[in-house]
Amino acid sequence: MKTRLLVSALVALLVCSLLPVGAVPVFDDTSRKTIDKVVQESIAKHDAPSCVVVVGSKDKVLFAKAYGHFTYDVNSPLVTLDTPYDMASCSKAVGTATATALLLQDGKLKLEDPVSKYLKCWDRDDKRTITVRNLITHTSGLPSYTSASKAEKGRTSDETHADALIKCIASLPLEYKTNKGWLYACLNFLTLARVNEQAAGVSQETLLRERVFRPLGMTNSGYYLSDSRKLLCPPTSRARDCQGNVHDPLANYYRDGYHCPGNAGLFTTGNDLAKFCQMILSDGVWDGKRILKPEIVDMLFTNQILDQPNESWGLGWGVSKNRRCPASVKLTPKTATISHTGYTGTSVDIDRYSGTFVVILTNRVYPDDSTNVNAIRRGVKAAVSDADPLYKQAEAAKP
């Protein structure tokens, strides 16, 4: 038995060594039909009214399709690959963390900078040791969430909602001692976006538009949409203002026309996100334009949590190995997958080992948030892995 297992392991290792890392999956009719079936069944079960799926490599889109309507009413508009979706918490990774990466690249921010360097209201005994690294890796000790009413209660007449919320977050007691635990917290990224803006001297939206969205041709991406653009967004609830206005309550409260909520609030499309993912897979370059330096891209795929071996979080992204990745392949910045999900039913996965990305956009929170899109996420990712020569042959070589 031991001999057989050893031989199988050696075969798997040999197979993977013969294939180039980043070998492009072959998307045939079987792969496409599998994704069609998974998504169409979920829509039929009312898991979500609509879905956009985009799969690609650094230089080509392998699969791109839009399914369903804005709502379950078949007379409502059909979604397209250019339909803007509320990204919810995926805004943390695609938006806020990318802005932080740009500022690290420019030397305007350092991971070890204390937050109080940029925000005076954070110059408090229990907050002085919290750094940019703590915010972007969720190791600050801040609670996961708070209420807009709490911030509003403490707001003075000369304060904006955004200022009141940042002040409120600074006043909250810590859930654990900084650097001594991990808790995914929207409050980390609400604060980080304000730090980004203080360091940059412009709004986060302006920074991203000038340095990322415009160079990449992401023409349908942004935080503040015109009234006409809002009508192009699938609704995220039955509320009257549910189109093109961020679903997250704190992010909605925070928006003042200038400051960007760092935890949510980005609207973007399948086509736009494909360009973003291709830029990341190309070590920061897209269509000959340098957006991020290779060493900064490596930081996205590198665990930035110090002294906590059980957690793995890069610059705003979860860092892991694809579950189909052979055990013999060590987790490094060149073999890692970065991932993030959003409450509205969105997800982005960028697999550096296979050289592929998967974007899934839904408005599963319409008409309410009682459903999930786990079946879509699992099914689409499985279809992509099944089509990938690296993962397919490694799977076949298992004992």
Q: Whole-angstrom Cα distance, residue 193 to residue 196? A: 5
Q: Give me the sign of the Cα torsion angle 146, 192, 161, 364.
A: negative
Q: What is the pLDDT of residues 177-211, one digit of tens each?
A: 999 999 999 999 999 999 999 999 999 999 999 99
Answer left, alpha or beta for residue 340, where phi above 0 means left and psi between -120 and 50 means alpha.
Answer: beta
Q: Two tokens at 55? A: 């799969």
Q: pLDDT-derived band of residue 395, with 50, 70 and 90 as boundaries?
A: low
| Percent of the chain at pLDDT exceeding 70 | 92
Q: pLDDT-derived band of residue 4, with 50, 70 and 90 as boundaries?
A: very low
pTM score, two decimals?
0.93
Where is average pLDDT lowest: 65-79, 215-229, 287-301, 305-319? 305-319
Q: Whole-angstrom Cα distance, residue 199 to residue 243? A: 32
Domain 2-396 adopts which CATH fold?
Answer: Beta-lactamase (3.40.710)
**pLDDT in the model for residue 399:** 61
Q: Where are the domains of the chain?
A: 2-396
Q: Whole-angstrom Cα distance, residue 171 to residue 126? A: 9
Q: Two tokens at 69? A: 């309507």
What's the full length of the chain, in residues? 399
Q: What is the pLDDT of residues 237-271, one digit of tens each?
A: 988 778 999 999 999 999 989 999 999 999 999 99
Cβ(62)–Cβ(24) below 8 Å: yes
Q: Whole-angstrom Cα distance, residue 146 to residue 66? A: 35
Q: Whole-angstrom Cα distance, residue 230 to residue 373? A: 24
- 10 Å CB burial of residue 5 (0-12, 13-18, 19+) is exposed
Q: Two tokens at 318? A: 């979860």
Q: What is the pLDDT of residues 350-390, one digit of tens each?
A: 999 999 999 999 999 999 999 999 999 999 999 999 998 88
